[in-house]
């Protein structure tokens, strides 16, 4: 088999693993209350950093490029909205929406060379454009899918580890609830969809610094001259940016809460597992980017997890119910699959 054929095979296998794990990594968190998500995102990002550290050691510690951390900072910013999105519109619908925006943003920046990157060419541009366009269509369809998310109920299992002792004041009947739990159904849907869109755009920009470094490594007058062309060499810098930014956000949250943050001990191990799964999926994505190029891998890997997450939402968590919602979801899946196939075949 030729090197090109080997790269394509490795790229599509890596993409498949990434799709499965990205669509499932938040599943361990569904049965636990995570409050407003600020504590959880820090635990998850710590796990990501540790997994990336192991990968970095396996790769014999390639050169660390600080600029690659910027992509991790962007991702951590989008990740803050994950818990509110899951609580308002559900895991399946949330991933469908932010996955579509993720795909479109990543494809656009790679295809047209935004932010100083080199524009990527494909053998069949019409198929590539069609695949990206179908991602947009699938996003609009997802907005019409209604999800059923149960409101948080007060129990000892969902009480935060740290709560403020209040005297001579009316006792909060549900001290473990967050601002997300106070939203009306209409507000929940508006907030959830809006946050999913914002997260998707941020997620779609996360690889821009790495691609920028790789593109400029070919120029002798660049400070990045000679930088590695292997995407996985940047995974530790990327994860370091994630952990740094998540820590900054968590410290800011602690300050805003007057050193009385809501910590949920039962979410620690599930959050850590979620972070490990995400880190493995990201390593596979880096491999797919190297083997297929970002203009091909982005629409495939960002569209697929929505299908996996929706299956979890339908069959296990019962987030999506009703014949009309099922039909809309199937229609969206067909469009997503068609778009992914168009993008995949656009390079060959």
State the average pLDDT over residues 314-324: 77
The pLDDT assigned to 184 comes to 81
Per the CB < 8 A criterion, the answer to whether 25 and 278 are in contact is yes
Q: Is the pLDDT of residue 173 over 60?
A: no
Give the pLDDT band (50/70/90) at residue 175. Answer: low
- DSSP output for 290-340: HHH-HHHHHHHHHHHHHHHHHHHHHHTS--S-SHHHHHHHHHHHHHHHHHH
The C-alpha atoms of residue 307 and residue 296 are separated, in whole angstroms, by: 18
**Higher pLDDT among residues 120 and 236, named by residue:** 236
* pLDDT for 321 beyond 90: no
pLDDT at 97: 81
Helix (H) or strand (E) holding 85: helix 82-88
pTM of the model: 0.79
Q: What is the DSSP letter of 171?
A: P
Length of the chain: 348
**pLDDT above 90: residue 240:** yes
pLDDT digits (tens, 9 = 90+) for 116-156: 777 777 788 888 888 878 877 877 787 777 776 665 545 44
Listed residue (250, 319, 312) closest to 277, CA to CA: 312
Token pair 């998500």 in the structure block, residue: 37
Residue with more model confidence, 343 or 148:
343
Angle (nearest 5°) at CA 242 between 15 and 192: 75
pLDDT tens per residue, range 299-312: 778 777 877 877 88
pLDDT at 71 over 90: yes
CA angle 198, 200, 206 (to 5 degrees): 110
More confident residue, 103 or 242: 242
Question: What does the pLDDT read at residue 277?
Answer: 95
Do residues 306 and 335 make contact, with C-beta atoms less than 8 angstroms apart? no
- Judged against a pLDDT cut of 70, whether residue 164 lies above it is answered with no
Domain definitions of the chain by residue range: 3-147+180-345
CA–CA dist 98, 317 (Å, integer): 19
Taking residue 204's Cβ as centre, other Cβ atoms within 10 Å add up to 26
pLDDT score, position 304: 77
Q: Which residue has the higher pLDDT, 187 or 91?
A: 187
Average of per-residue pLDDT across 163-191: 64
- Tell me the pLDDT of the chain averaged across its residues: 82
- Please say whether the beta carbons of 126 and 175 come within 8 A: no
- The pLDDT tens digits for 3-62 are 667 778 888 899 889 989 988 888 888 778 777 788 999 999 999 999 999 999 999 999
Q: What is the pLDDT of residue 158?
A: 47
Q: Which of 43-52, 66-75, 179-188, 248-257 shows the lowest per-residue confidence on average (mean pLDDT)?
A: 179-188
C-alpha 256/C-alpha 229 separation (Å) is 42
Give the per-residue pLDDT at 53: 96
Is residue 176's pLDDT more than 60? no
- By percentage, how much of the chain surpasses pLDDT 70? 88
Q: Which one, of 299, 46, 33, 37, lies nearest residue 192 by Cα? A: 37
Question: Which of the four pLDDT bands, split at 50, 70 and 90, describes residue 239?
Answer: very high
């Amino acid at each position: 088999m030729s090197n090109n054929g080997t790269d394509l095979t490795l790229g599509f296998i890596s993409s498949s693993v990434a799709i499965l794990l990205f669509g499932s990594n938040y599943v361990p968190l569904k049965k636990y209350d995570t409050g407003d998500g600020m504590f959880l995102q820090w635990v998850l990002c710590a796990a990501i950093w540790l997994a990336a550290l192991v990968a970095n050691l396996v790769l014999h510690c390639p050169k660390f490029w600080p600029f690659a951390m910027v992509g991790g900072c962007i991702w951590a910013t989008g990740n803050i909205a994950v818990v509110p999105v899951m609580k308002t519109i559900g895991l399946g619908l949330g991933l469908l929406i932010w996955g579509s925006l993720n795909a479109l943003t990543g494809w656009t920046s790679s295809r047209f060379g935004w932010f100083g990157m080199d524009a990527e060419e494909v053998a069949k541009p019409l198929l590539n454009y069609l695949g990206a366009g179908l991602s947009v269509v699938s996003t609009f369809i997802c907005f019409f899918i209604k999800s059923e998310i149960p409101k948080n109920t007060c129990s000892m299992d969902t009480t935060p580890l740290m709560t403020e002792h209040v005297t001579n004041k009316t006792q909060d009947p549900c001290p473990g609830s967050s601002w997300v739990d106070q939203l009306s159904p209409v507000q929940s849907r508006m907030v959830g969809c809006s946050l999913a869109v914002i997260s998707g755009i941020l997620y779609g920009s996360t690889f821009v610094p790495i691609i920028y470094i790789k593109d400029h490594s070919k120029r002798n007058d660049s400070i990045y001259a000679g930088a590695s062309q292997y995407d996985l060499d940047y995974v530790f810098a990327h994860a370091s940016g994630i952990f740094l930014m998540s820590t900054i956000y968590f410290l800011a949250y602690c300050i805003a809460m007057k050193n009385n943050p809501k910590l949920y001990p039962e979410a620690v191990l599930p959050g850590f597992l979620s972070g490990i799964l995400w880190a493995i999926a990201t390593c596979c994505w880096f491999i797919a980017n190297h083997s297929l190029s970002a203009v091909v891998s982005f629409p495939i890997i960002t569209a697929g997890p929505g299908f996996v997450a929706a299956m979890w939402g339908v069959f296990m968590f019962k987030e999506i119910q009703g014949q009309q919602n099922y039909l809309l979801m199937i229609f969206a899946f067909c469009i997503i699959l068609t778009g992914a196939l168009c993008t995949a075949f656009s390079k060959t």
